[in-house]
Every structure is written in structure tokens, then in C-alpha cells.
Structure 1
Amino acid sequence: MTILVRTHRVLAAIFQHCKYSTKTKAISSVHLANKEFPSDEYTNVTPKIISYLGKNLHLQKGNPLAIVRKRIVNYFYSSFTHRGNPIFSIYDNLSPIVTTKQNFDDLLIPNDHPSRAKSDCYYVNKDILLRAHMTAHQSELLRSGLDNFLMIGDVYRRDEIDSTHFPVFHQVDAVRSQRKEELFKDHPDLEIFEPAFDISNPHTFVNTITDPSKQSCHTLEAAKLMETQLKSHLIGLVYALFGKDIKHRWVDAYFPFTHPSWELEIYYDGDWMEVLGCGIVRNEILANAGPNNSIAYAFGLGLERLAMALYKIPDIRLMWSKDSGFLSQFQDKNIDEKITYKPVSSYPQCTNDISFWLPTTLTVDTFISNDFYDLVREIGGDIIEQVKLRDKFVHPKSKKHSLCYSIVYRHLERTLTQDEVNKVHKHIETAVTDMFNVTIR
């Protein structure tokens, strides 16, 4: 199939996934997972993004993401047992369609937090979105009575386009909670909570995070012991993946749903690389979900980042490849085997620039690049390797605003001709003109 024909089909798919009013041309509903969702001014999920739902790369045998997932699960199964049985339960097939309450409110994410912005998330409507992190399921699992669990799946975020960023990636999130008798089994005289905190009525206590070492409801002993366990367990995970010679360091961080919070970095390929974020779960989350006598830690990490580092995979798009030359390097392997990806072939890039004048309603600072990236990805699909903002320009006389982007095209399995790239690029120009009311320079 030529790219030109494919482009026409991609454009046609917009009308297959979204129903339109013939009078206003506004999207009236979005079809996801055999359900129809009403749309509104928040709707920005695209057919290309919808097409990734249900792929579950983390469960596909022989995919590098599935190998890393299995190694992480094995570490937790072997490290945490009770009477010979693993204490962690695994949830790796949860629906990625969640509510804003699950994704934000249950996690104490403020209404004005930038992670809620339409420029960052794929919204089905103002109340429904494609989860931006696996932590979106944390409260529902706590509410069901679970103490220790891993949540693994695909997450969706609007982002730039390059070799390390993709709008769909895969995360492992985990929660480990403990009651007093487990945390202080050797010191029954110690307490998890300060005397002012009433376990039977936790909502009467105003929990604060002004102290960088702990939440105000927790005793220092409980906070420090949980921190020690958390860091020890996660360093053990990094050792299990990268070997005990890997250099690592902890960096203080901020997340709305944990306090204190940290990021773990490893020294990789001549630089420090963040591999996960973690912290002590805010007690309000536990109390709102049911548990009012526990303390918990949580962490989250991206499978793509780990797989690319472990196996020297240079382009995140390769995770989605169906090419046998790629997949065969990971199939039927011992999961702990040292694998170094060998390029199947190196096809040349084609780079085209696109410059346009913005309408008077927009400026170079108010135009949302993620909107443009989504449109480029929708038209060009997986042959889009990178999109970079090259230049912002304001005409000194007319005061008109202009932007210039470079679009890098590369097919992972064959050589693209400049002619077919030009045809796709022309479709992008037409679509940008229609969608944003710009004028191509």
C-alpha cells in the first residue's frame, strides 16, 4: 500500500471513529471499546491514538516490554512472600478508559495542575480520558481491600515527537501498605500515627506536608522505616535489572499523591538517567479509599525507558514493530539473558520543513505545539520520526506571527522516496491550514 493511499485512509478514519453533526461539523460522540461516549469541548483524542487501544505490548510474548515486565514481576514475587506465596497481586489488563476522578481527584491532583491540561492528556470528554498514568487505578484497588499490588499497562500522554517520546507508553505502578503489627513487628511500642491522629475518624485531622521528612499524621519512626524499605526494595529492583555494579542516586522530588517523594537515577551511557519516581502515599488517599490504619509507599516506572536502556534499542517506535528481524531478537530467550539489539537495517531520513503564518487570534507563545504534533502523527503515522520547532518569528512591520517546524520522516522497514514523502507533507500542510486557519509560507 502506498503512503498516499494510507494517508487518505487515515483521514477517512477520523469520520469512522467520531460521529459528526452535518450542520456544525462538530464531533458529537467518540467510539471506544465498543461504547459510545458523548463529546464536548474537551474532546481531543484522535483516531490514530484510538488505534493503539488493546494492543497490550506488555503482554505480547517476545516483545522487549513483556520481557522487562516479567523480570519486574519475578523480582517482586521472589522478594515478597508469605508462607511461600507471593504477597503482591498483578493487574495488567485494566481498561485504559478512566474518569477524571480516577486520574486526578482521587490522587489529590489540584484543579490547576498542568497535568490536567488538554495539551497534556487525551480527553474523550471533560469527565473521561485515556489514563495518563497507571496510578489512576490505585484508589479503586485499595478500595477493594488490596494491600500490595502492581498495576501494569499502557498510558497516554500528548508529547513531543522524537526517538524517545511516543504518545503511548507502558508503566508499572505499585503500592505496598503495612499496618502497625507488620511495620513494627519487632518494636510493638512504636506507632505509625502521631497521638493527635484519630484512626477511627481520620478525616478530622488536617494532614500537612510542610515537613520535608514526613506527613504531619505520621510519626518520624514510621516515615523513616518506610523510606528505608522503599529505597532498599527499589535499589534491589535496579540491581536485578542492571546488575549490582550500576551507579545510582536519589533525588528529592514532588508528586501530589506522595510525600516525601524521590526519583531514582542510574548512571547510564555517560549520564544520569531517571528510572522511576516514588514516595510515601498521602494518607488522605488511603483514608478516602478505606484503609485508615496503614502506611504505604508507591512507585511508578516506564517500561520503554528500561527496555531501551537494557537492550540498546535506539528508537521507541521499534517497540511497535511487527518486523520479524526485530522481534526474533527477543523471542524464545531466557528473560535474564543479556540482549543487545542489532539494527535490522538502517534506512535514510527525509526531512521537510513547514512554515506558516498564524491567524491573528494566536501568537507564537499561545499556539499549542502538541496540537500540531498530534495532527502530523495522524496524517503521517509511524513514518514520522521527529518533529522539531525550528523557529519563531514575529514580522517587525506587520506583527504577524510565524512558526517553522522540521519534520523528519523515516520508515523502519524500507527506504522512503522523497516523492512519497512530499505527498504526505502536502497533506499535512493542507490539514494544518484547515485545522488551525494558518497560511503556509
Structure 2
Amino acid sequence: MTIIFRSNRVFACILHRCKYSTAPKSVSTVQINQKEFVADDYTNVTPKIISYLGRNLHLQKDNPLSIVRQRIVNYFYKSFTLRGNPAFSVYDNLSPIVTTKQNFDDLLIPLDHPSRAKSDCYYVNKDVLFRAHMTAHQSELLRSGLDNFLMIGDVYRRDEIDSTHFPVFHQVDAVRTQRKEELFADHPDLEIFEPAFDPENPHKFTNTITDPSKQSCHTLEATKLMEAQLKNHLIGLVHALFGKDVKHRWVEAYFPFTHPSWELEIFYENNWMEVLGCGIVRNEILVSAGPNNSIAYAFGLGLERLAMALYKIPDIRLMWSTDSGFLTQFQEKDIDAKITYKPVSSYPQCKNDISFWLPPTLSIDTFMSNDFYDLVRDIGGDIVEQVKLKDKFVHPKTKKHSLCYSIMYRHLERTLTQAEVNEVHKAIEKAAVEAFNVVIR
């Protein structure tokens, strides 16, 4: 892994959040894996985030994420065959560096959609980012002529810091397309498309999603049959993972790239837990990628959420552990074995608060907490267990705005001393002053 920042100013910009740094006067570049990218005011990847590239936990033997990945792949291999071979192809080593066109435009995500925001994504520059979902590869794979495929890999999103959130996690996304002769093999009189839609001239038809039951180009019969297949296949997957007795329910949802759309929830430990999102692929996506005469369904799920539920893993950071006490619990086991994680040991938590006055250019409503979380993660690394916004305050006389965050530190493999925590905490305070022009209280 080669990571080179082609100027000290760019390094500072990336580390201390481009949004609050002075832009360099000359063009600067960032080099990742022997490839150079021009840095701009969108650049907000940090050295800490870049360090996760290439870890590929979903492919690491004995990692619980890899075990769940294999269980999902096995389900699709067994459930769908074509002339004796698996109908689904698997792509689990695609580059996580994608274009905004791949990540957003190809998926019909509007320009003003919040998922495009710098506060949500890790941008290399305004045109390139670390993929925020595996669906970013959907169009390129469809364009290559594939019809049924699984996309598995690491995805990157700026988020809060706690036991269930991490800036890097792993997803399985899938697409299944069908032509008329496949979908209506037993009913050749039925059609996928409404008479007004001409598959030979798809761009002459404006597809709409105003009808909650279907896209305007599709017949109701085609949509309902695809919906039935999709839901049956995903319930089968949940049964394969959690057992046939697990309760489930479907919840209507909205995604820019599918319609209709649903989320699947299971009743787990006395709560309803979302396990995946899915829907009928927007026909405009298929038309742009090539298959004009097909209908498709798609779904996406997170491996961490499933692994933590299946194996009772309490902290998402454990997925990144190289400690033998953790990994041996999943070593050389039948992938369908029931495994319950047993804590290797329990180390005490250290808690420090940080309070600061914001500069006049910022307020408690405009300051981006994700900017602060990334800074904490860069300085504190994986010993930061959780960061919580504890208090917001506006001084009644001066009208100055103040924020207070609680930072919980805990090492997964040893006891932290308060002295070393204090040293890290002071470094975070110093970095916050330099990055955001705040005044520590």
C-alpha cells in the first residue's frame, strides 16, 4: 500500500479537514496505490481511513465477516443454478476507489441528496471517493453483460463513533435480472413492459415512480412476480442464517435506485432489527447500462450487523482485531456452526470530556460533528471506543456557542493508564484548536 501526500499543505488539509483549511495556491496531489489524484476543496480522506485500504476482512480466513460472507455465497450457489453451475457470479475484490458517477449518478441519486455530502462521504477529490456502498459497481457489471451477480467488499462512510459504528464496514449487494422468457416461462401471454414502453426505443419513454406499487414502464404482473421472488429468496437467506423460526416483517422504504423498495427486519433479542434493503431496480439504470428488455431486483446488506448478531460480538472494532484470543474462536469451524463470542478479557474504560468555544463563523447548528469524529479517530485511533455530544450551550450575554463531547477510551487488548489517555486527549484538544479555530474551555 503506497500512500503519498504530495505536499505538506495537502497533508495538513486532509488531516485537519479541508473545510476549515486554507486551500493551497498551487495544484497538489494525493497518491494512493501508485495512482495520483488531484486534491481540491472536497478532499477529506485522512491517513487513518486510507490505512484501512486493502485489509479486506471479508476475505480473511477465520474472520467472522468472512464466515458470514461464505454462508451468503453458499446460499446463492445452492439456490440458483444454471445448467448445473451457480447462476450468480461473485465479485469480492473490486477497487474501493470509485467515481462520483459510479457512486451517485449511475444510481439516479439526486444532486441535492444528503448521501453526497462531504459530511457523509470520504472524498479523494470532487470526482473521486471511497465507495459508500457496493451498489457503486452495479452499472459497470451490468454494462459488461452480467445478469446475476453478488458484489462484496469494504465501504466507507463518515459516521458517529460507538460500539456499532465504524467508518469502514462491509456489504453484500446483489442484482438479478430476468427477460420475459425467464420471468413468464409458464405465461408467455404476459409482458414485462406496458404497451406505451418500447424496449427498442427506451429513451422515448419517461419512467415515473408516482405509483407506489410499480414503475410506470412495468406491468403490475411483472412487478408483483419479481417482488414475490425477491422476498422469498431473501426470507430463505434469513432462514439459512438465523434459523427457520426467526420472525420477520417487511417495511416499505425509499431508495433512489429501486422502486418499489422494502426493508427486511427480523425479531432479534426482543427488538426488530433491520437486516437489509431491497427493491425493483429503476428501469432507467438498466437502460443506461445496456439491458433494455429486462427487469431486475437488487438488495444490499451489511456483514458487520449480521456477524455481531449471529455471534454475539459486542463491539464492531473487534472485527479488526488480530488478537489470537478473538480469531481462534472462529478458527477451523464449520461455517454453519453456532458460535457465541466469549470475551477474552474485559479492560476498564477511561472517559475524558472536551469542551470548546466555536469561532464566530460557526454555530452549534452548523458545526459538523463528523468532522470532529474523524479528527478524534485520526489522533486516538482504535482506542477510541465512543464519542458522544454531551452538551450544547449558548452564552446568554456573549452569545458565544460552545460544544462538549465525551470521549470514551478503551483498548481491546490491554489496560490503558489514565496518563496515556490524558496524553492522547491533549493531542486531540490541540488538533481541534488548529483544525477548527476553537478555544478550549
TM bucket (normalised to shorter chain) is over 0.9
Q: Tell me if 1:19 matches 2:10.
A: no
1:345-366: CA deviation from partner (whole Å, max 9, x where unpaired) = 0000000000000000000000
- Give the equivalent residue in structure 2 for 1:143: 143
1:319-344: CA deviation from partner (whole Å, max 9, x where unpaired) = 00000000000010100000000000
| Deviation, structure 1 residue 32 | 1.3
Matches within 5 A, 1:310-325: 310-325=310-325
| Deviation, structure 1 residue 271 | 0.4
> Is the 1:348–1:410 Cα contact (8 Å) retained in structure 2?
yes
- Give the equivalent residue in structure 1 for 2:300: 300
Q: Tell me if 1:173 matches 2:161.
A: no
1:239-259: CA deviation from partner (whole Å, max 9, x where unpaired) = 000000000000000000000
- Give the equivalent residue in structure 1 for 2:357: 357
- Give the equivalent residue in structure 1 for 2:280: 280
> Is the 2:23–2:41 Cα contact (8 Å) retained in structure 1?
no
> Is the 1:20–1:28 Cα contact (8 Å) retained in structure 2?
no
> Is the 1:20–1:29 Cα contact (8 Å) retained in structure 2?
no
1:12-56: CA deviation from partner (whole Å, max 9, x where unpaired) = xxx954523599774922221221111000000000000000000
Alpha-carbon separation, structure 1, partners of 2:341 and 2:385:
19
Q: How many residues align?
A: 427
Q: Deviating runs (4+, > 6 A) in structure 1?
A: 22-25
SS across alignment from 1:374: helix
Amino acid at match of 1:19: S
Q: What residue ranges of structure 1 are gaps of 5+ in the alignment? A: 1-14
Amino acid at match of 1:214: K
Amino acid at match of 2:164: T
- Give the equivalent residue in structure 1 for 2:436: 436
Alpha-carbon separation, structure 2, partners of 1:68 and 1:409:
29
Q: Closer, same or farther in 2 for the Cα pair 1:420/1:21, shift >3 Å?
A: closer
Amino acid at match of 2:125: N
> Is the 2:4–2:32 Cα contact (8 Å) retained in structure 1?
no
> Is the 1:357–1:439 Cα contact (8 Å) retained in structure 2?
yes
Alpha-carbon separation, structure 2, partners of 1:134 and 1:33:
20
1:188-241: CA deviation from partner (whole Å, max 9, x where unpaired) = 000000000001010110000000000000000000000000000000000000
> Is the 2:358–2:437 Cα contact (8 Å) retained in structure 1?
yes
Q: Closer, same or farther in 2 for the Cα pair 1:99/1:323, shift >3 Å?
A: same
- Give the equivalent residue in structure 1 for 2:44: 44
> Is the 1:254–1:262 Cα contact (8 Å) retained in structure 2?
yes
> Is the 2:71–2:335 Cα contact (8 Å) retained in structure 1?
yes
> Is the 2:263–2:277 Cα contact (8 Å) retained in structure 1?
yes
- Give the equivalent residue in structure 2 for 1:330: 330
State percent identity of aligned pairs: 83
Amino acid at match of 1:202: P
Q: Tell me if 1:232 matches 2:220.
A: no
Name the TM-score, length of structure 1 as normaliser: 0.95
SS across alignment from 2:176: strand
- Give the equivalent residue in structure 2 for 1:163: 163
- Give the equivalent residue in structure 1 for 2:397: 397
> Is the 1:17–1:47 Cα contact (8 Å) retained in structure 2?
no
Alpha-carbon separation, structure 1, partners of 2:127 and 2:359:
31
1:144-196: CA deviation from partner (whole Å, max 9, x where unpaired) = 00000000000000000000000000000000000000000000000000000
Name the TM-score, length of structure 2 as normaliser: 0.95
